[in-house]
Amino acid sequence: MANEQSEVSNASSSIPLNQENYSTLLQAFFKTHDEANRLPLANNRLKGLNNWLEKRVNSLEEELENVKTGFKHLNMIFQSSNFEAESSNQPSVKIVMCCKLR
C-alpha cells in the first residue's frame, strides 16, 4: 500500500507545475465549485415541484374516485328509471348530462 502511494507521488511530482497548468487547474476548480453550488438550489426547486405534483396527483385521484362514485349512483338511478318506464309501458326519456371539468 505504501509502495503504491509512493509511485503515485513520484508520478505526480514528475510533472512540472508551471503557471499555465496551475491556471488551467484553478479555472477547472472554480467552474466545478460554481456548478456544485448551483446544484443544491436546483435540487431544492425540483423537490418542491415534485412535492406539489405528488399532491396534485393525489387530489386528482381522489376527484376521479368521487366522480366514478357519482357516475355509478346516477347510472343506477337511470337504469332504475328505465326499468320503471319499461314496466309501466310508458315511453322512456333519455337524459343527457353535461359535466363541467375543472
Confidence of residue 69 (pLDDT cuts 50, 70, 90): very high
pTM for the model: 0.50
State how far the Cα of 75 lies from the Cα of 31, in Å rounded to an integer. 64
Residue 38 and residue 55 in contact, taking contact as beta carbons nearer than 8 Å: no
Q: Torsion angle, CA of 79/85/91/92, rounded to 10 degrees?
A: -20
What would the DSSP string read from start to end of 56-96?
HHHHHHHHHHHHHHHHHHHHHHHHHHHHHHHHTTPPP----
Confidence of residue 5 (pLDDT cuts 50, 70, 90): low
Say how many C-beta atoms besides its own lie within 10 A of residue 81's C-beta. 13
Average pLDDT of span 19-28: 90
